[in-house]
């Protein structure tokens, strides 16, 4: 998967430690993560609430 590949890329470049972790610790890091995925063609739409 692209998110997995992105995580591996960060482990290899030293910006994330190996092992299990959340994708992001802060809102800013979440924005960076989503922007990187969008750069690889993976887009997201935020929806709040049921349905």
Torsion of the alpha carbons at 40, 32, 45 and 19, rounded to the nearest 10: 80
3-state secondary structure of 5: helix
Give the tens place of pLDDT for each residue, 13-35: 998 888 877 667 788 888 888 89
* Mean pLDDT, rounded, of the chain: 84
User: For residue 2, how many other CB atoms are within 10 A of its CB?
Assistant: 11
- Assess whether pLDDT exceeds 80 at residue 7: yes
- Assess whether pLDDT exceeds 90 at residue 4: no
**Residues 2, 40 contacting (CB under 8 angstroms):** yes
Q: What is the mean pLDDT of residues 30-46?
A: 86
The confidence score (pLDDT) of residue 12 equals 93
Tokens of 50: 């049921």
- Distance of alpha carbon 49 from alpha carbon 32, whole angstroms: 24
The confidence score (pLDDT) of residue 23 equals 63
């Amino acid at each position: 998967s692209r998110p997995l590949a992105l995580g591996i890329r960060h482990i290899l470049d030293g910006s994330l430690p190996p092992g299990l972790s959340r994708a992001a610790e802060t809102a800013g890091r979440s924005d960076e993560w989503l922007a990187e995925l969008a750069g690889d063609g993976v887009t997201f739409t935020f929806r709040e609430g049921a349905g």
